[in-house]
Amino acid sequence: MVLTETFFFEWLQAFGKAWSDLDVRNFSQLFAEDVEFYWNPFEAPTHGRAALTEGLVHTFARQKDPSFDFEIIKASGEFGWAHWTAFFTRDGIDDPVRIDGVLEAKFRDGACCRYRQWHHRLEPGQGDLMRDFDA
């Protein structure tokens, strides 16, 4: 599959909608059965859609009112790269969380077969960072 920018844009829109809706099923359906999903670059990946789904259940359960936005950096060959931002509150404690990151997605037969993300998370308790971020 040669990745087009249009396909990647639509995939990212579906990714963001599923996350914003906290829809584990639709989110995990964007990935191949044998996906390698890297939650961060310094840990071993989650292998397979079933394991990803299990991880998403726990991750989404701790979030409230998420939003996701993105800007495509490039779509070429089998790969897409995008800059993304996400905002949500921690369910139960209502602490705001902001994430700013870059993702790389590799596609095969219309599904993402490898997903990697590098991001920075900004949360309360990080001193004056929240105030400075809004300045």
**Model pLDDT for residues 77-106, shown as the tens digit of each residue:** 999 999 999 999 987 787 899 999 999 999
DSSP-derived secondary structure letter, 43:
S
Strand, coil or helix: 64: strand
Query: In the β-sheet with 79-90, what is the strand arrangement from edge to edge?
Result: 46-47, 31-38, 111-122, 96-108, 79-90, 63-76
pLDDT at 123: 77
**How many angstroms separate the CA atoms of 6 and 68, rounded?**
18
In this predicted structure, what is the pLDDT of residue 94?
79
Q: CB under 8 Å to 127, separation ≥6 — which residues?
A: none
pLDDT score for 133: 54
Q: pTM of the full predicted structure?
A: 0.88
Q: Please tell me which residue, 132 or 19, carries the higher pLDDT value.
A: 19
Please write down the HEC assignment for all residues of 95-115: CEEEEEEEEEEEEECCEEEEE
Asked if 124 contacts 95 with a C-beta cutoff of 8 angstroms, the reply is: yes
Averaged pLDDT of the chain: 91
- For the chain, give the number of residues: 135
Q: Could you give the CA distance from residue 37 to residue 49 in angstroms, rounded to a whole number?
A: 9
Give the confidence band of 115 by pLDDT, cuts at 50, 70, 90.
very high
pLDDT at site 93: 82
Residue 125 has pLDDT above 80, yes or no: no
Fold topology of 5-134: Nuclear Transport Factor 2; Chain: A, (3.10.450)
Beta carbons within 8 Å of 58's beta carbon, 6+ residues apart = none
For the stretch 28-57, pLDDT in tens is 999 999 999 999 888 999 999 999 999 999
pLDDT at 127 over 60: no
